[in-house]
Amino acid sequence: MSKLVWFLLVILLVYTILPTLIVRLGGFGVYTKGKRANGIALTFDDGPDPDYTPQLLDLLAAYQVKATFFVLGSKAEKYPELIMRMHKEGHLIGIHNYVHWANALMTPMKVKKQLSDSVKAIENIIGEKPIYYRPPWGIINIFDLILLKQFHMVLWSLMVGDWRSSGGKNRIRNELLSKLSNNDIILLHDSGQTFGADQNAPIFMLEALSEFLEECKRREYIFLRIDSKMKLDGPRKQEPLQLLKKTIVYFWLKWEMLFYWLFNVRPLDPNYQIFYIRLCKYHGSTIYLENDEKLSDGDLVVELHFNNEKLFQMISQSSTSVQLAVNLIRDVQRFLPTLTQYLKLHQEVRGIYGITMIHRGSKQMGFTVKELPKGMLRMLSHIYLRFLMFIFHPQGRKRLMKGQLSPRIVAISASEVIRRYPADSSSPSL
């Protein structure tokens, strides 16, 4: 498998698979099921639909049940009278994106626009901003965690595959009744127009729901809107993002062990493990260095990789960003004389090369700092390194939001490292 394929798999893992698994399995930062409040929450996705949503509203009105609708902004604009009817009849309206696209397939800015367009569409109709959000298919990307300050993210605890017509109403009704507990959040769909759904599936959902509500009435179950249910359950944990970060760091460091083994990335000195290294050929445009040397395509280089486990330890032990920067520079300066020893044993190496967001002070240490050329590598490196900064750096989120951090190429010739950082010296000659 090529390095590009592995890199794409890493990006996919970090960007969406790992965050989605942690949120879905661990429930970090999202509401998936009531814990203290008895009461069933009926929720409906993918609408409004001009054929099925009116029938659903009639059914809910007949049983005096209040539900929560996670609507698509584009459909809200197309059928404003249905949104207004939901609102007037006491149902809660949330967002399910502007169109039914998975967040994994969109950039953070695209997701943000989907939500802002949906908020605007719904607010223009009912005069209130929706604050409850369910991402399509329950799939998120890592940057969606920032949305937790603006929206209450709501998933579900009971799903019965009502987007399929197979089995008809009996399958849906039987699954609802057999799996139900009195504090579930039930996911149903009042439209069959999304990818993977049968167009006539809502017919069977409505038939099954009618019989389900009749049985629930007999059992004297209570139905609640999501906002009422969450209020009765009490406030959300205040720091879900920090807990999520620690979990992601743990799994990420385990993944890095596998990555290092696959690509033969290893520590150079057990005493100064701020960097791991990989001996490889440089591939890319010529880099002209500060000392009139250059790195050309095909040159043998030492590729530097930050030891993120060490970096995370330093962050945890540093009380301020200034202290972190000082400790980081000190460790780099301790590492470079050891690198000189390695270069003297590998005289065929032309230079040292890396891509990083932590490049402040690199020029003073003799490195050339350059922007990445436009292209796939730049885009993927940008996503990957911004994720790491967001997770590892104490002010990563704030600095990313301000645009203060962006990936750069840092490079230095082997001869310059040997000249500046003699192996028999404990301090570098700056």
189 catalytic? Reply is yes
Q: Which long-range contacts (CB under 8 A, 24 or more apart) does 241-247 make?
A: 241/29, 241/145, 241/148, 243/28, 244/19, 244/22, 244/23, 244/26, 244/28, 244/29, 244/145, 245/391, 247/22, 247/26, 247/28
Burial (CB < 10 A; 0-12, 13-18, 19+), residue 398, is exposed
Q: Evaluate whether 71 touches 50 at the Cβ level (below 8 Å).
A: no
Q: Are 56 and 44 in contact (CB under 8 A)?
A: yes
Of these residues, 96, 189, 359, 393, which one is catalytic? 189
Query: Strands of 30-31's sheet, edge to edge?
Result: 30-31, 152-154, 132-133, 92-95, 68-71, 41-45, 185-189, 158-159
Point out the catalytic residue in the list 45, 117, 190, 299: 45
Torsion angles phi and psi, residue 42, rounded to 5: -85, 125
Rounded CA separation 310/116 (Å): 39
Q: Say whether 276 sits in a helix, a strand or coil.
A: strand
Residue indicated by tokens 């989605």: 20
Tokens of 333: 């300066």
Q: Cα–Cα distance between 337 and 297 in angstroms, integer? A: 26
- The question of whether 190 is a catalytic residue gets the answer no
Burial-class residue 373 by CB neighbours within 10 Å (0-12, 13-18, 19+). Answer: exposed
DSSP secondary structure letter of residue 15: I
* Torsion angle of the four alpha carbons 81, 87, 92, 98, in this order, in degrees rounded to the nearest 10: 30
Which residues are identified as catalytic? 45, 189
